[in-house]
Structure 1
Amino acid sequence: MAEDTEAASQSVTDFLSMLDGQADWVTTSKLIRTGLPASFFDELSILIGLSPSALASLLEVKESARRRWLKTGKLTSTESDYLYSTALVLRSVLGLFEGDQLAMREWITRPALALGQKAPVELLSTFVGINTVEAFIWQLEHGVSV
């Protein structure tokens, strides 16, 4: 049991390191263009403390796409771009709550007045929504009235 917790912790650490790689846009862009490994989605689910099925439901990822990922071992470039962008936003939310996964999950699923009474997770299905949630997080972090 302790080994499972340690392995999950190491996986989250590795995953966050990959997201921190955003400073190297050339490498990150190449990874996205060639397709991120299918494990990226599962590691994202570990990061936020949800099962892959629950995360798929929240992000409206189709079961057929998840089956294809298992078969091919990687995401398409479009899926990679979307999930990488989503992961960056979710990492920001996790940072907003100082690593508290429960608080993060509650926040992303609770409607916000500043988002037109939509829950942040409802907006994560498009890049426009991702940008809106990123801007909202920035406002909260910097004390900007929302």
Structure 2
Amino acid sequence: MADHLAAGSLRKCPSDDFLSMLDSQTDWLACSKQIRQGLPAYFLHDLAALIGMRPHVLAGILGIKTSARRRWAKYGVLNLTESDYIYRTAVLMNSALNMFEGDQSALLDWLARPALALGQKTPSELLSTFVGLSMVEALIWRVEHGVVS
């Protein structure tokens, strides 16, 4: 996973709009409205910037096809299902990053390390489905609350 930190299309930091959307998670009605309207196409790039990964690498981990990314670029917006999935992924990644006190490198190492609580799968292997996201969210909660698994 080290190649994702090289220069290129890697943004230094997410946009203020992206951070505002993550902050609005405490207002579930506003969140739901944003998701139903469709998240902006740049959301994946901002998520990648948040965790210090190239967008195409993150898209591969999340199982997002190139054709979907092209459609996002063309129309400027994600559909409802994509918006819901990407938003939930962003919330998860933000929680994981907070678990490592903002250390992107530690987060990326953790994403690539097999976890006993995940059946010796890496967290990144499970991020392409809602079920996998739930499993990783549960693991983050257990780590943050000191629950042995």
TM-score of the superposed pair, with normalisation by structure 2:
0.88
Matched length: 139
Match of 1:71 in 2: 74
Match of 2:34 in 1: 31
Match of 2:85 in 1: 82
Please report how far the alpha carbon of residue 35 of structure 1 lies from its aligned counterpart in structure 2 after TM superposition.
0.5
Contact 2:111 2:122 in 1 (8 A): yes
Q: Which amino acid in the other structure matches residue 115 of structure 2?
A: A
Return the alpha-carbon distance in structure 1 between the equivalents of residues 40 and 32 of structure 2. 14
**Secondary structure, aligned partner of 1:83:** helix
**Secondary structure, aligned partner of 1:117:** coil
**Secondary structure, aligned partner of 1:16:** helix
Decide whether aligned partners of structure 1 residues 14 and 98 sit closer, same or farther in structure 2, where only a CA change above 3 A counts.
farther
Question: How high is the sequence identity, in percent, across the aligned residues?
Answer: 58
Residue deviations 1:96-136 (CA, integer Å, cap 9, x gap)? 10000011011011111110000011111111111111111
Match of 1:127 in 2: 130
**Secondary structure, aligned partner of 1:118:** coil
Residue deviations 1:28-73 (CA, integer Å, cap 9, x gap)? 1011111000011110010011111111111111000000000000
Residue deviations 1:6-49 (CA, integer Å, cap 9, x gap)? x844x355523321201111111011111000011110010011
Q: Which amino acid in the other structure matches residue 55 of structure 1?
A: L
Match of 1:94 in 2: 97
Structure 1: gaps (5+ residues): 1-6
Match of 2:51 in 1: 48
Contact 1:12 1:47 in 2 (8 A): no
Contact 2:61 2:128 in 1 (8 A): no
Return the alpha-carbon distance in structure 2 between the equivalents of residues 12 and 67 of structure 1. 20
Match of 2:139 in 1: 136
Match of 1:3 in 2: none
Q: Which amino acid in the other structure matches residue 110 of structure 1?
A: R
Contact 1:97 1:104 in 2 (8 A): yes
TM-score of the superposed pair, with normalisation by structure 1:
0.90
**Secondary structure, aligned partner of 1:104:** helix
Return the alpha-carbon distance in structure 2 between the equivalents of residues 71 and 15 of structure 1. 20
